[in-house]
Chains A and B, each alone.
Chain A
Amino acid sequence: MIPTFHIMEDLLAARAQMALSLGFHIVFAAIGMAMPFLMAISHYQWLRTGRQVYFDVSRAWSRGVAIFFATGAVSGTALSFELGLLWPKFMQHAGPIIGMPFSWEGTAFFVEAIALGLFLYGRKRLNRWVHWGIGVVVGISGVLSGIFVVCANAWMNNPSGFDWIGGQAANINPVAAMFNPGWKTESLHMILAAFEATGFAVAGVHALMLLFRPSSCHREAFRIALLVGACAALIQPLSGDRLAKGTAARQPLKLAAMESHFETSTFAPLIVGGLPDATAREVRHGIPVPGLLSFLAKGDIRAEVKGLNDFPRVLWPPLLPVHVAFQIMVGCGTALAGLALLSLFFIWRKPAWLGNRRFLILVVLATPLGFLALEAGWVVTEVGRQPWIIYSIMKTAEAVTPMPGLVYPFLLFSAVYLFLTVVVAWLMLRHIRAVARNYPSAMPEGGSHA
Chain B
Amino acid sequence: MLEVAPFMLWVVIGFLAFSLLLYCLLAGADFGAGVLEIFMSGERREAQRGIIGKAMGPVWEANHIWLILIVVILFTGFPEVYSRVSVNLHIPLTAMLLGVIARGCSFTFRHYDAVKGRSQRMYSGFFIFSSVWTPFCLGVVMGALTLGNINPAAAGYAEGFIHPWFRPFPLALGLFTIALFAFLAAVYLIGESPEGELRLSFVRKARWASAATVLAGGVVFVSAHLDGLELIPQFLRSKTAMGCLLLATLSLPLLWLALRNAQIWRARMLAGMQVILILAGWMWLQFPVLVHMPQGDLTFFNAHAPERTLVNLAWALIVGGAFILPALFYLFRVFKRDEE
Contacts and interface: CB of A to CB of B under 8 A. Distances in A.
B126 to A, nearest CB: 10
Given A93-B79, A117-B331, A174-B312, A77 B90 contact: no
A420 interface: yes
Which of A85, A96, A121, A409 has the most chain B CB atoms inside 10 A of its CB?
A: A96
Contact of A106 (B68, B82, B330): B68
B334 A116 contact: no
Contacts of A71: 104-105, 108
A109 to B, nearest CB: 6
Given A118-B58, A174-B308, A402-B87, A2 B156 contact: yes
Given A78-B97, A92-B83, A106-B68, A404 B57 contact: no
B83 A73 contact: no
Q: Mostly helix, strand, loop or mixed at chain A's interface?
A: helix
Contacts of A115: 327
Contacts of A106: 65, 68-69, 72, 320
A402 B84 CA distance: 11
Interface stretch (A36-44, A61-69, A330-338, A372-380): A61-69
A95 interface: yes
A403 B59 CA distance: 36
Nearest to B152: A402
Which of A1, A99, A100, A409 has the most chain B CB atoms inside 10 A of its CB?
A: A99
A84 B112 contact: no
Q: Mostly helix, strand, loop or mixed at chain B's interface?
A: helix
A427 B108 CA distance: 11
A2 B112 contact: no
Contacts of A70: 61, 104-105, 107-109
B83 A84 contact: yes
Given A74-B101, A416-B98, A434-B115, A85 B90 contact: yes
Interface in B55-108: 57-59, 61-62, 64-65, 67-69, 71-73, 75-77, 79-80, 82-87, 90, 93-94, 97-98, 100-101, 103-105, 107-108
A81 B91 CA distance: 12
Interface in A70-128: 70-71, 73-78, 80-85, 88-89, 91-93, 95-97, 99-100, 102-107, 109-111, 113-118, 120-122, 125-126
A51 interface: no
Given A2-B157, A95-B82, A434-B115, A84 B104 contact: no
B79 A96 contact: yes
B2 interface: no
Contact of B71 (A63, A80, A404): A80
Interface of B: 57-59, 61-62, 64-65, 67-69, 71-73, 75-77, 79-80, 82-87, 90, 93-94, 97-98, 100-101, 103-105, 107-109, 111-115, 156-157, 160-161, 305-306, 308-309, 312-313, 316-317, 319-320, 323-324, 327-328, 330-331, 334-335
The 7 closest A-B pairs by CB, nearest first: A99-B76, A84-B86, A107-B320, A70-B108, A88-B83, A434-B114, A96-B305
